[in-house]
Structure 1
Amino acid sequence: MASPAVDDYLKTIYHHTEWQSERITPSQLAAELGLAPSSVTEMVQKLAAQGLVTHRPYGPIALSEAGELRAAAIIRRHRLIETWLVREFGYAWDEVHDEAEVLEHAISDRLLEGIDERLGRPAFDPHGDAIPDASGHVERVAFVLLAQAAPGHVGRVLRVSDRDPDLLRALESAGVEVGAEATVTDAATLRINGSEVDLPAAAAGAVWLSA
């Protein structure tokens, strides 16, 4: 069942639990993919039959070991391509997602290995998401979502969600970037390099800091 559609399902399930622990439900998966629940139910049954996911009726969905390895492989492609586009072609971090969605299914393993080597085997993409290595392993550190961080919390900006390009542009304009040291004033304000930075309302659910 090698197909972009299958890869998109596996990638979405994988991504759901990267920055929180709750497994994805069929209705959440349908919403993420923009598909009818009946279509998602049918595909999940096929993925389960292929040994790529585990699922019971009306329950949450989890990747099997084989499914996680396959998902990590396609996510590795996507995030290496995003990093390549930013470093080598000058793309902004809000511009790379859609481009990578196309290229991840098109480039060869040989080219991907060449990109990885040229970039110095990066562990994280421009948004702070971990890039799995060739074996599927990823580097992770303890994290806290900005919305859940206590006032006075100090940490590095680990990750900014790439879901909303407008939000990415607004955060970049405000001086929020992956790797920056930040002190939490509240969910709408960070102190970065000694300056108070006012954040868009959506930032509280889209910025992760080191714990």
Structure 2
Amino acid sequence: MKATSEPTRVTEDYLAVIWKATEWPDDGHTPATSAIASALGVSLSTVSAQLKRLAGDGLLDYRPYGAITLTSEGEKIAREVVRRHRILETFLVEHLGFAWDEVHEEADRLEHATSDRLIARMDDLLGHPAVDPHGDPIPCDIHEAPSPGVPLARCVEGQRLVVSRVSDENPDILRYCAKRGLAPGAHLTILERLDSTGLMSIEMEQGQVELSAQIAGAIRAVPKGD
């Protein structure tokens, strides 16, 4: 059976979370029911029931304790939801003066209620950006997604890097990074890799910065010159 009506907000939320979990295949990430439950703030039993429903609607392939994969229709819906969300975040930052740690929840509220026409006008006004303020790629057919990079937590001493993405899951981390200039496009050098104390040290233009394991894991970077 395939879904024949407009997807509900719940459906869009589930499909978007699943799609984003597979956005970085280099990490070996696959969506898990526990991660979906955490992201959406619901119970495991609720997730299992919804996954079965979405599978029945032809939007994903799912077997209990097995892999969760989107069908072509499910992926189409998910990409559009993520696209709306990231264009909204970009518009809120660039044209309405929101800080990058404020826009995730605002975009969550707006993404289900904003028309395709309005999103297209925003995208035109923004100049069809490839990424949002956090460096997350905006799905589209105009350009290929940029390299996601690797978490700083994996990098080693001496590497010269450019920040490509900062996770928007934790506003506190975003505020910490903003104060230290750790945004997409920032240049840095690894002074000391993440060690047993759970800290790493980097050098930036404004000086040395210490990062916890959690923060280092939330920042992605590419080699300087890529």
TM-score norm. by structure 2 comes to 0.87
What aligned pairs does 1:61-80 form with structure 2 within 5 A after superposition? Answer: 61-80=68-87
Aligned partner letter, 1:195: G
Instruction: Identify the residue that residue 12 of structure 1 maps to in structure 2.
Output: 17
SS in 2 for 1:93: coil
What aligned pairs does 1:40-189 form with structure 2 within 5 A after superposition? Answer: 40-133=47-140, 135=141, 138-141=144-147, 143-185=149-191, 186-187=193-194, 188-189=200-201
Alignment partner of 1:36 is 2:43 = yes
Q: Deviations over 1:54-75 (max 9, x none)?
A: 1222113122222111101000
SS in 1 for 2:23: coil
Residue 37 (structure 1) shift: 1.1
Aligned partner letter, 1:88: H
Give unpaired runs (5+ residues) of structure 2.
195-199
Instruction: Identify the residue that residue 208 of structure 2 maps to in structure 1.
Output: 196
Alignment: residue pair count? 210
Residue 33 (structure 1) shift: 1.5
Q: Retained in 2: the 8 A contact 1:161–1:207?
A: yes
CA distance in 2, matches of 1:152, 1:12: 35
Q: 1:136 to 1:22 in 2, by over 3 A?
A: farther
Q: Retained in 2: the 8 A contact 1:182–1:191?
A: yes
CA distance in 2, matches of 1:176, 1:147: 14
CA distance in 1, matches of 2:77, 2:143: 12
Aligned partner letter, 1:59: G
Q: Retained in 2: the 8 A contact 1:146–1:205?
A: yes
Q: Retained in 2: the 8 A contact 1:94–1:162?
A: yes
CA RMSD of aligned residues (A): 1.7
Aligned partner letter, 1:140: P
Q: Retained in 2: the 8 A contact 1:11–1:71?
A: yes
Q: Retained in 1: the 8 A contact 2:201–2:211?
A: yes
TM-score norm. by structure 1 comes to 0.93
Residue 159 (structure 1) shift: 0.5
Runs of 4+ in 1 over 6 A off after TM superposition: none
